[in-house]
Amino acid sequence: MSDPENITEETETKPIVEKQEDLPKFEKDQSDKITAKFGSKTEIAFVKPDRIKVNVKKEDILDVASFIRDELNYDHAESVTGVDFPADKEIEVVYHLGSYTDPQLSRQVLSLATRAPREDNPNPGNDSTILPSLRDIFYSVEFHERECFEMLGVFFEGHPDNRRLLLPEDWADLPPLRKDFAIKGR
């Protein structure tokens, strides 16, 4: 567990990993299946009752997502969230996956997280912040990925329609949810 006195001005970025002895059993089985198949390409961030988090690199995310859909029976994505970590120079995109068809998984929400490199002067669509789109695997992420693109500048490769959704048409500033976009007066 991290020590309160050791936290510096720049916020820490990786969440805490649980101790191995007292993890809940069903969730541990699920995460073990993933590590059995993919080994060191994935990292299990935490295993809590009803919630598992898996960190993947962006090159492997399509394989891991297909495995989760086919073998573990997760069938839709509840939401796609982008979180900006300027200290790490990375942007993390978290997919929350759920299942409607499998009765054992009706309480579980699996968080699949991946990171993309972040540039200080973003040019959304034309710089190195690119991630593969999961739309062919989970169709329900279509509008969520569009919103993530315009709010954080992450370009999703393979998405048929990377346009803006919520912001005004003439928005020419930084993507708003980045930490260096400051609200006026604060």
Partner 1 sequence: MLKDLITPQNANAFVGKLGDILVKAIDQPLEYAINWGRLWSLWPVHIETACCSVEFGAASSPRYDVERFGIIEAFGSLRQCDLVVVQGTITRKMAPRLRLVYDQMPEPKYVIAMGACAITGGLYFDSYNVLPGIDGVLPVDVYVPGCPPRPETLIQGCMLLQEKIKRMKAR
Partner 2 sequence: MTARLPPGLQLEKVDERIMTLNVGPQHPGSGHMRLIIQVDGDRIVSCDPDPGYVHRGEEKMAEYRNYITNIPHLERPVIHDSCNILYPYCLGVEELLGLEVSERAKYVRVIASELNRFTYTLYWLAIYGIFLGHSTMFMWPAGDRELAIDLLEKLTGARVTHSYFVPGGVRNDLPANFEDVCLRQINYLEKRLKTYADIFYDNPILIARTEKTGVLSREDAIRLGTTGTVLRASGVDYDVRVKEPYDVYDELDVHTNVLKNGDSYDRSKTPWLDMLESCNIIRQALEKMPKSGSVRVKLKPNPKGGNDEVYKRVESGRGSLGAYIVSRSKPEPYRVKLSVGSFRNLICMPYLLKGEKLGNMPAVYWSLNYWPVEADR
69 binds, among partner 1, partner 2, none (CB under 5 to 8 A by kind): none
Write out the binding residues for partner 1, residues 165-184 only, by CB under 8 A: 167-169, 173, 176, 181, 183-184
What is the SS3 assignment for 54? strand
Would you tell me how many other CB atoms lie within 10 Å of the CB of residue 21? 5
**In this complex, which beta carbon is closest to partner 2, that of residue 40 or of residue 163?**
163
**In this complex, which beta carbon is closest to partner 1, that of residue 19 or of residue 184?**
184
Contacts for 88-96: CB closer than 8 Å, 24+ residues apart: 88/13, 88/115, 89/117, 89/118, 90/115, 90/116, 90/117, 90/118, 91/115, 91/116, 91/117, 91/118, 91/129, 91/152, 91/153, 91/154, 93/131, 93/148, 93/154, 94/53, 95/65, 95/134, 95/138, 95/141
Which of the ranges 25-33, 34-42, 50-58, 114-122 carries the binding residues for partner 2, by CB under 8 A? 50-58
Measured CA to CA, the distance from residue 90 to residue 68 in angstroms comes to 25
165 binds, among partner 1, partner 2, none (CB under 5 to 8 A by kind): partner 2
Closest approach, Cβ 143 to partner 1, in A, equals 17
Q: Does 124 bind partner 1 (CB under 8 A)?
A: no
Which of the ranges 1-9, 108-116, 124-132, 162-170 carries the binding residues for partner 1, by CB under 8 A? 162-170
Q: Where are the alpha helices (DSSP H) in the chain?
A: 25-38, 61-70, 142-152
Q: Does 142 bind partner 2 (CB under 8 A)?
A: yes
Q: How many residues bind partner 1 (CB under 8 A)?
A: 10
Site string for partner 2, 163-182 (x = CB under 8 A): -xxxxxxx-x---xx---x-
Q: Does 186 bind partner 1 (CB under 8 A)?
A: yes
Closest approach, Cβ 67 to partner 2, in A, equals 18
Measured CA to CA, the distance from residue 132 to residue 115 in angstroms comes to 11
| C-beta of residue 89 within 8 angstroms of C-beta of residue 117 | yes
For partner 2, the binding residue among 41, 60, 79, 174 (CB under 8 A) is: 79
Q: Does 117 bind partner 2 (CB under 8 A)?
A: no
